[in-house]
Amino acid sequence: MIRKLFKRDNKTIKIKSPVTGMLMPIEEVKDETFASKTLGEGVAIIPGRGSISAPFDGKVLMIAQTKHAIGLESEDGIQVIIHIGIDTVKRGGEGFSVEINKDTKHVKKGQLLVSFDNERMIKEGVDTTVLLIMTEVNGHILSQLLTKGEVSEGESNVSEYIKKKV
């Protein structure tokens, strides 16, 4: 009885894959900034198609002018950057299309955010690896991070955090 009174329930926050494809360890990405986790912990996905969806319900923090990256914050305060490809900033937005209005403030899990010409970029020799980097976790504790296997856009959990209730 006393344990029930003082028990602290924890909430699990699940982050979905923003793209369909194959996971790989982020340490194997061909960009030292991402591979060394300088920006934060994350996952790397070799995309099977060119669409990026919101990994959770939240708000838009930024959309890169070159359309290759988008920043989001979950309702629980976890901030992420979804970065499409390695050195794709050099494309100046070519091959990318932002699918949300520039004034969009809130997004729903699974909502289409960005489209990109994955096949064309691969033919041009561009590394289209999609990175989902958790840049700010606001005290949440990482409980699971997938690094291999196939994932489906908006459906597969790629990481989980625990929010401790006090």
Catalytic center residues? 83
85, two tokens: 């490809």
Backbone angles phi, psi at 73, to 5 degrees: -130, 130
Cβ atoms of 17 and 49 within 8 Å: the answer is: no
**Burial of 104: CB neighbours in 10 Å, binned 0-12, 13-18, 19+:** middle
Q: How many CB atoms lie within 10 A of CB 47?
A: 22
Residues with Cβ < 8 Å from 107, sequence gap 6 or more?
54, 57, 58, 59, 60, 72, 100, 113
Per DSSP, what are the bridge partners of residue 159? 15, 145
